Amino acid sequence: MTINRALGTCYYPEQWPREQWEQDAKRMAELGLKWVRIGEFAWSRIEPEHGSFEWDWLDQVIEILGQNDLKVVLGTPTATPPRWMIDRHPDIYAADKNGNPRKFGSRRHYCFSHLGYRAECERIVEFLAKRYGQNPHVAAWQTDNEYGCHDTTISYSEAALHAFWQWCEERYGTIEALNEAWGNVFWSMEYSSFEQIDLPNLTVTEANPVHCMAFRRFSSDQVVSFNQLQTEVIKRYSGAPIAHNYMGRITEFDHFEVGEDLEIASWDSYPLGFLEDRIDADETFKHDHARQGHPDFQAFHHDLYRAVGKGRWWVMEQQPGPVNWAPYNPAPLPGMVRLWTWEAFAHGAENVMYFRWRQAPFAQEQMHSGLLRPDSEVAPAFDEASQVASELEALAEDDNVQAKVALVFDYQSAWATDIQPQGKHCHYFDLVFDHYRAARKLGLSIDIISPTCADLSGYELLMIPGLMTLSAPLRAAIEGFVGLVLAGPRTNAKTAEFSIPLPLPPNLPGLNATIEYVESLRQTAKVPLTIPGNFIKWREQLATTGQIVATTTDGEPAIIEHGNIQYVAGWGDQEVLVYLLENMCAKRKVATEKMPNSVRRRDTKNHRFYFNYANQQRTIADRMIEPAGVIWVEHIST
């Protein structure tokens, strides 16, 4: 499938006087933008009072944009229920872990389980879809806005409790089966009816991990069904594709499952905010990358959402300059907005949309930049967007190629590791991300795949670190896989009902190994290996008849190999992972190229792209690359 690359922006016409709309649309078109997202926070202007609608303004905006050859992504406004909604449904709020309501006055103030709110959402989405479903300018939809953002997936409300009882009954059938599956004989936690089960907050000490896991699964399913409610309505009236805008490092719901009901996955990329806000890296690294962002974090999500979107994905919001919400909010190095945009395209994005068109001088995000300043003069990102728009004239079309390396990302493993980290700094996301980073240091392009992937054909290498429960389809695919598998630590370590499986882990196809016990390590503790590098954070004691690739320097098996599986009995640092991946690539004749620090590479069908995330000049492929520089060469297939 050929990808047609395009640019766009996020626009809030309800925040600006009508007289400005025409001028704005003209400037967008002149800049070379093709798409504009509107509407996702505009409920109070569409329906100022319950049941009384004001459509004129929205009709007009869509018409003006359309007349300027701009395609509209219409957002459903359900992330911002207006104030009158609270009068109708005073118990609409999600509840935090302490049972406190998360109240009106910002956004996302609703509980996914609230049936009254679900009905209100169905109603407003139906009005919108009926009115604009056949509008020629509405070329795509967005459901809600950033599910899970501001920690909103999990709610300990009354509505959630009732829905959870029902969910448990559907999953387990009888209370006896639930007691058995949860091991409730432990600490006399047995129930005699589903209605006796509480949500797993406010317990004296930790709740049963399987109770927590069930609640996490339930919470994720609520997001899936909430989204489904909207997509079903939209599809009745419109043939335009539907997207949702996901976030960086939000793991509380299963994005693959939400993605099943959508045609496009998209995400909101704020590289500088993320570096400060949600990435585990040392101070020096953060200092050196403060104006560029982490060289792998955006790419990781591009690859993840390409998988979630079954090939079709966008950046729905691209950081254009300083944001307002991170602990520090620097301006990007000149050139970075262009780099981020090209990087998204190199990973297969169809569209990159800048957030936002004009900086708002009022309310919560007044310190958040846009393509225009509040006085409508151009901000620095405007010229970079303009440069990309002209570069796109020659490079609008391209295609993805399947990578040689596949990496599984599994939301359930993230929940399981959150619930039972066993060591303070053990996060599933970080473990997977460490593998991703190591592969990227070797210049590899990577496909992230779902944990139920049943087809590994075309791959030479598969990585399944920390994958808590190996699904039946993936197990079958591994059994027939001709490439190499890198597994461990903690792979296949739990049953689906959160117990230690028998036979003991890792129990992988063809691998003779037993984990006798595990240890988590203090941050200062490093376990050196007989290959370059150390185990950090985590270590497993292995018994095996397999071949030993490396031991710890105290003589215990650290990395073993049996058939086509290598099992790593610890959390390898970057040196370990780069070493292993390089060797595995060599064995499978996958070409690697060691990247200079903070330079990354990605191949599309037609080009090989290089991106310089360093704040210094680098040399790559015999060429100088400036800080924030992007270069591309005609792709020579390897």
Positions marked active-site? 146, 317
Report d(CA 180, CA 112) in Å as an integer.
Answer: 29
CB closer to ligand GAL out of 277 and 497:
277
368 is a site residue for ligand GAL (CB under 6 A): yes
Query: Do 302 and 344 contact (CB within 8 A), yes or no?
Result: yes
- Interface segment toward ligand GAL; rule CB under 6 A; list 25-33, 143-151, 226-234, 498-506: 143-151
Measured from the CB of residue 356, what is the shortest distance to ligand GAL in angstroms? 8
Choose, by CB under 6 A, the member of 254, 268, 350, 410 that binds ligand GAL.
268
Measured from the CB of residue 600, what is the shortest distance to ligand GAL in angstroms? 24
Measured from the CB of residue 143, what is the shortest distance to ligand GAL in angstroms? 13
| CA pseudo-torsion sign 556, 561, 562, 565 | positive
Residues 105-134: x/- map of binding to ligand GAL (CB under 6 A)?
------------------------------
Residues 452 to 491: which contact ligand GAL by CB under 6 A? none
Place of tokens 């009115």: 131
CB closer to ligand GAL out of 149 and 189:
149
Report d(CA 302, CA 21) in Å as an integer.
Answer: 32
Measured from the CB of residue 79, what is the shortest distance to ligand GAL in angstroms? 8
Place of tokens 């990577």: 446
Residues 385-424: x/- map of binding to ligand GAL (CB under 6 A)?
----------------------------------------
Measured from the CB of residue 301, what is the shortest distance to ligand GAL in angstroms? 13
Residues in contact with ligand GAL, total (CB under 6 A)?
10
CB closer to ligand GAL out of 107 and 607:
107
CB closer to ligand GAL out of 81 and 629:
81
- For residue 377, with 0-12 CB atoms within 10 Å meaning exposed, 13-18 middle and 19 or more buried, which class applies? exposed
CB closer to ligand GAL out of 364 and 597:
364
CB closer to ligand GAL out of 105 and 503:
105
Measured from the CB of residue 247, what is the shortest distance to ligand GAL in angstroms? 6
Measured from the CB of residue 540, what is the shortest distance to ligand GAL in angstroms? 38
Report d(CA 401, CA 312) in Å as an integer.
Answer: 13
Choose, by CB under 6 A, the member of 78, 142, 145, 184 that binds ligand GAL.
145
Per-residue b or e along 425-449, where b marks 16 or more CB atoms closer than 10 Å to that residue's CB = ebbbbbbbbbbbbbbbbbbbbbbbb
274 is a site residue for ligand GAL (CB under 6 A): no
Place of tokens 């319950």: 50
36 is a site residue for ligand GAL (CB under 6 A): no
297: which 2 tokens?
């974090």
CB closer to ligand GAL out of 364 and 499:
364
- For residue 106, with 0-12 CB atoms within 10 Å meaning exposed, 13-18 middle and 19 or more buried, which class applies? exposed
157 is a site residue for ligand GAL (CB under 6 A): no
Instruction: Identify the three-state secondary structure at position 166.
Output: helix
Residues 284 to 323: which contact ligand GAL by CB under 6 A? 317, 323
Looking at residue 195, what DSSP letter applies? G
Cα–Cα distances in angstroms (integers) from residue 444 to residues 136, 581, 603, in the given order: 41, 10, 9
Measured from the CB of residue 324, what is the shortest distance to ligand GAL in angstroms? 7
From the CB of residue 111, how many other CB atoms can be counted at a distance below 10 Å? 27
276 is a site residue for ligand GAL (CB under 6 A): no
Query: Do 114 and 88 contact (CB within 8 A), yes or no?
Result: no
Measured from the CB of residue 245, what is the shortest distance to ligand GAL in angstroms? 6
Choose, by CB under 6 A, the member of 43, 300, 355, 579 that binds ligand GAL.
355
Cα angle for residues 405, 597, 394 (degrees, 5° grid): 70
Query: Do 302 and 347 contact (CB within 8 A), yes or no?
Result: yes
Report d(CA 412, CA 429) in Å as an integer.
Answer: 11
Place of tokens 């935090």: 96
CB closer to ligand GAL out of 149 and 207:
149
Report d(CA 131, CA 137) in Å as an integer.
Answer: 12
358 is a site residue for ligand GAL (CB under 6 A): no
Choose, by CB under 6 A, the member of 86, 139, 149, 496 that binds ligand GAL.
149
267 is a site residue for ligand GAL (CB under 6 A): no
Name the H helices within 397-496: 411-419, 428-441, 472-479
102 is a site residue for ligand GAL (CB under 6 A): no
Place of tokens 């000149």: 334
CB closer to ligand GAL out of 369 and 612:
369
Cα–Cα distances in angstroms (integers) from residue 495 to residues 141, 499, 506, in the given order: 38, 5, 11
11 is a site residue for ligand GAL (CB under 6 A): no
Measured from the CB of residue 216, what is the shortest distance to ligand GAL in angstroms? 22
CB closer to ligand GAL out of 262 and 558:
262
Which secondary-structure segment (H or E) carries 10?
strand 6-10
Looking at residue 557, what DSSP letter applies? E
- Interface segment toward ligand GAL; rule CB under 6 A; list 108-116, 144-152, 342-350, 411-419: 144-152
Query: Do 347 and 299 contact (CB within 8 A), yes or no?
Result: yes
Instruction: Identify the three-state secondary structure at position 267.
Output: strand
Q: At what angle do helices 380-395 and 336-346 cross, to 10 degrees?
A: 30
- Interface segment toward ligand GAL; rule CB under 6 A; list 145-153, 342-350, 455-463, 557-565: 145-153
Choose, by CB under 6 A, the member of 270, 297, 300, 571 that binds ligand GAL.
270
146 is a site residue for ligand GAL (CB under 6 A): yes
Q: What is the DSSP code string of 97-155?
A: TTS-B--SSSS--S-TT-HHHHHHHHHHHHHHHHHHTT-TTEEEEE-SS-TTTTT-S--
212 is a site residue for ligand GAL (CB under 6 A): no
434 is a site residue for ligand GAL (CB under 6 A): no
Measured from the CB of residue 201, what is the shortest distance to ligand GAL in angstroms? 26
Place of tokens 């599309």: 604
Report d(CA 299, CA 485) in Å as an integer.
Answer: 22
531 is a site residue for ligand GAL (CB under 6 A): no
The binding site for ligand GAL (CB under 6 A) comprises: 145-146, 149, 268, 270, 317, 323, 355, 365, 368
